[in-house]
Structure 1
């Protein structure tokens, strides 16, 4: 995933507004009778569904680019100092206590290896404050 566009994406608030849209993820959850929540329990619920989504022919190719921004938004919401930024290559990352969380890469690794669990990523970010 990359974010390119007119000036303004370098402003964390503008980037947050762009990346805070999770309609596709919300619809996947709704199809399973669940609601999208922006808290630790919601992240745990999404994590529990990742393997099934990964193996779904329709959802699988999109899951990393949908869940990564969601995870990043929850981190930004949970950690007062956290904010979105964009690398020169257009990749959005979350900055927390001087470190970058590449949430797209984290979710890709979770899909490939089963680790790290997404709630653990959120917990680690909240501990960095």
Structure 2
């Protein structure tokens, strides 16, 4: 970590991440990043060399990160604070179960809740 990241620093971090991931990058398809000036063409090139499609967040959409942070916070509070994850396969299984619960079983998301009488 650094308090003042530069373009060169972020490129080096991208290279380190790509090297650490190794063959696991084959299961990844996209990299979503914001439009900060510290990410440049060299940063994108590192991931494009790993055959990842780099997507930039929409310009001037300040709430986009807030939505991502909200779901990440929900996962942390409702899942990760209560379960000890034992590996990647276990994490995928737990998150799949939480996704089903979040999208289908919560009362305010049920199909009948939209058709209630006033």
Same fold (TM over 0.5): no
Q: Which has the larger radius of gyration?
A: 2
TM-score (structure 1 length as normaliser): 0.27
